[in-house]
Amino acid sequence: MKITIIKACFAFALTALSIGCGSRSQMPDEDTKKTFSISDTMMKRIVIDTAQIQQVQGELTLNGKIIADENKLVNVFPFVGGTVSEVRYELGDYVRKGEVLAVIKSGEVAEYERQLIDAQSDLLLAKKNLGVQRDLFSSRLTSERDVATAEKEVEKDEAELKRIQEVYRIYSINNSAQYVVKAPINGFIIEKNINRDMTLRSDKSDNIFTVADIDDVWTMANVYESDISKISIGLEAQIRTIAYPDSVIIGKVDKIFNILDPQTKTMSIRIKLSNSRYILKPGMAATVYLRYNEPRSMTAIPASSIIFDKGKTFVMVYRSRSDVETRKVTVAQTAAGHAYISSGLAEGERIITRGQLYIYDALND
């Protein structure tokens, strides 16, 4: 009986041992674990860049306003008073130089007509008198001095006639008691203070039209006193508007108004912008981004490569398809599309700048 029990125990021990050995043979070895590797499809989607030491760029964000270039803007004033009989263009219309903007019926024009007739008559008489004096001088019946006096009279009357004719030409006066207002330049009507049947006083000092060529426009922006030292002529500026939020217009600071507004304690600057497509309209609000160089250098990478997770910042350091490291870094500042790293990354290290979130999730889940 004892021998039977001993045999049974021995058989049970062998069975347990064999089961234990069999289980161990099925456990994966540490060296045979599957290693992470970026697939061919993912390699086509990611972008890799290299960390570089660069001079740190700062960026100011200012509020601005689009205005017309004052060097290409003309205010049109009425030359005479009268009643407006015709207005051919409205606010916002494009006009070409010489096109008729409005017609004014005016009694004052009759006075210029009288002056023109008188000047023509005076010149005709002066020329006849000069002819008589020359005939008398040739017959020894008058002196050379009388001829010279007659010549001067002709010159004076000619000058007066030219003056009146120039007034007619400049102000488009015709012989029908009408004053024709013409566009002085090519451009858009950005201000209009005249309507049909309006009566204009002869002493009216306000302009009736403002015509502006907006092929080039200005952006005026205000700089706070604490940032004045960062501004210089030629500084690059990026302009964004509410109307075109995805469009960035590049310009440069071309004028610094070295006076502070006593109310706002700000200094105005001007940025000239090309506007050949007329997308910028005078009166538009604009956001101005000014980039300036700081007197220091740091490791710089594209700002798009930064990963924010749990209050910390990371980058994906790429060494090979199967060797990608999640690296914690300290970002000193971001500006102009760059992130400046104060610790955690060295110059020359390669980082993933696009598609890095997929790899971050794959490595850190």
Tens-place pLDDT, residues 301-333: 999 999 999 899 999 999 999 999 999 999 998
> What was the pLDDT predicted at 17?
33
Q: Which residue has the tokens 């060529």?
A: 213
Helices then strands, counting H and E runs in the chain, come out as 5, 21
What is the model's pTM?
A: 0.63
Pairing of strands 330-335, 338-343: antiparallel
What is the distance between the alpha carbons of residues 346 and 307, in angstroms, rounded to a whole number? 17
Q: Which residues contact 35 (CB under 8 A, 6 or more apart)?
A: 322
> What was the pLDDT predicted at 7?
41
Q: Over 80: is that where the pLDDT of 192 sits?
A: yes
> What was the pLDDT predicted at 325?
93
Torsion of CA 206, 211, 217, 219, to 10 degrees: 20
> What was the pLDDT predicted at 67?
96
> What was the pLDDT predicted at 108?
74
What percent of the chain has pLDDT above 70?
Answer: 88
Token pair recorded at residue 17: 């041992």
Mean pLDDT confidence for 327-350 = 92
Per-residue confidence band for 176, with pLDDT thresholds at 50, 70 and 90: low
> What was the pLDDT predicted at 27?
38
Give me the chain's average pLDDT, please: 86
Q: Which helix H or strand E contains 124, and what residues bound it? A: helix 108-138
Beta bridge partners of residue 305, listed in sequence order: none
